Amino acid sequence: MSPVAPAHGDDPDSGSGDERLPDFAEAVLDIVDQIPAGKVLAYSDVAEMLGRGGPRQVGSVMSRYGSSVTWWRVIRASGEAPDGLQDEALSHWRAEGTALVRGVVSGRSVDMTRARWDGMAALSGTFDPPTGTQ
């Protein structure tokens, strides 16, 4: 089951769909939108790319708003999916050909050495982290 969250750009409390996400949440989701199939980032990687926040703040954004993006591509640094979403994430990882520890058949966690996306290199010159506060 995917995390329950409003569509990208919708405020869950407004009901109107006209409200914008907090800047930090928008920035997190913008990065997640760019992770290619078969690649992943740890929560800490996303925070590092943004130059603010930390793994817990990124995890909070993903928990609240992550269903509007490819949430299974942002995981724990250990290569594990969020609690309660392991089976669904595993299904996505296998479908995308994400490198798994112990291989595609037996593996249940991502091989971070092989599957971690070098987003900073890929986005250099194209990604401008937003400034300001949450």
Residue 68 belongs to some domain of the structure: yes
Residue 13 belongs to some domain of the structure: no
Is residue 36 helix, strand or coil? Answer: coil
Residue 31 belongs to some domain of the structure: yes
Task: Say how many domains are in the chain.
Answer: 1
Residue 60 belongs to some domain of the structure: yes
What separation in angstroms does the CA of 112 have from each of 76, 89, 106, 117? 10, 15, 16, 9
| pLDDT tens, the chain, 134 aa long | 334 344 444 444 444 454 678 999 999 999 999 999 999 999 999 999 999 999 999 999 999 999 999 999 999 999 999 999 999 999 999 999 999 998 877 888 999 999 999 988 877 755 555 454 44
> Residue 35: which CATH number?
1.10.10.10
Dig out the tokens for 59 from the structure: 């995890």
Residue 30 belongs to some domain of the structure: yes
Residue 12 belongs to some domain of the structure: no
pLDDT of amino acid 2 = 38
Cite the DSSP H helix spans in the chain. Answer: 23-34, 43-50, 55-65, 86-96, 103-106, 112-115, 119-123
Amino acid, res. 26? E
pLDDT of amino acid 126 = 56
Domain that holds residue 34: 23-78+85-115
Residue 73 belongs to some domain of the structure: yes
